[in-house]
Amino acid sequence: MSTSTRLFSAFFTAMPGFIFSVLFLFSRWLGREYWGGTYLMVLVVLPIASLSFGFKLPNLFQKLRIRQAWIWILIQGLLAWIVALIVLGFLNLTPLCIGQDNGDGNNDIGMCFFMTALSGLVYTPLYLGMQTISALIGHWVIKYQTGISQAE
């Protein structure tokens, strides 16, 4: 598989993560609430995981005879999202969440678990919708790009 195909795969896999990160930075929540640093760290991990999965896994998918690029991009994005939620869960087990004053009292481990699960429930459909759109666009771009490289 060509490097340009892998780069396109990585780009379209990481696009929703970059959009989430940019929206978070422009929302001005960073520094206003105790959880801003936690979500910033997660939104740094998400694009990095997306880029690395998007660059490394297409060869594996071709060996498994999965030829449709949109399937690769969706699976790679889903794996990156799972990694980001795991990182969020681990960060919410640290003093970044536990013991922080949330306005109603201090967070306990149950509240931090609940906020991790709630973040996953709320943002997963939005992320997967964005990932699906990115996967379809990426599929068309990769299909066009590989069609040109095979014609040469």
The per-residue b/e assignment along 101-131, b for 16 or more CB within 10 angstroms, e otherwise, is: eeeeeebeeebbeebbeebbeeeeeebbebb
Q: Where are the domains of the chain?
A: 3-147
31 pLDDT tier (thresholds 50, 70, 90): low
Beta-bridged to residue 106, according to DSSP, are 101
Instruction: List pLDDT tens digits, range 55-112.
Output: 998 888 888 888 788 898 999 999 999 999 999 999 988 888 888 877 777 888 888 8
Instruction: List pLDDT tens digits, range 124-150.
Output: 999 999 999 999 999 999 888 777 554
Record the pTM.
0.87
The whole-number pLDDT of residue 129 equals 95
